[in-house]
Amino acid sequence: MKAIEQVEQAERQAEQLLEQARKEAGSIVEQAENDAARLREESRQKARDETAALLAQAQKEAERQAEGLRDKTEKQCAQIAASAESNMEKAVKFIMERVVG
């Protein structure tokens, strides 16, 4: 009788250990899923932050290039205006000489 009780007790202990192992496995899976979700969100946030930083950098570079182009265009316009003014004086002189004689 004692042997049967020992076997039954061993079976109960085995069942308890098995149930405990199932619970621990469930907890491990749940923790892994939570960690994975957290890591996904952290990765998304990092990607958003990096994208924002790259966009800001590109914006600054575009503004710098636009400023350089604006300066170059203003200089070219000033040169064209000066050249036109110079040519205007020559044209007026030429016409005056032709008309006056």
Q: What is the pLDDT of residue 85?
A: 83
Q: What is the mean pLDDT of residues 45-65?
A: 98
Q: What is the pLDDT of residue 90?
A: 83
Cα–Cα distance measured from residue 11 to residue 5, given in angstroms and rounded to the nearest whole number: 10
Which segment of 6-15, 20-29, 90-99 scores lowest on mean pLDDT?
90-99
Per-residue pLDDT at 93 exceeds 70? yes
Q: What is the pLDDT of residue 101?
A: 65
What's this model's pTM, rounded to 2 decimal places? 0.55
Residue written as tokens 């002189």? Answer: 93
Q: What is the mean pLDDT of residues 41-67?
A: 97
Cα–Cα distance measured from residue 63 to residue 66, given in angstroms and rounded to the nearest whole number: 5
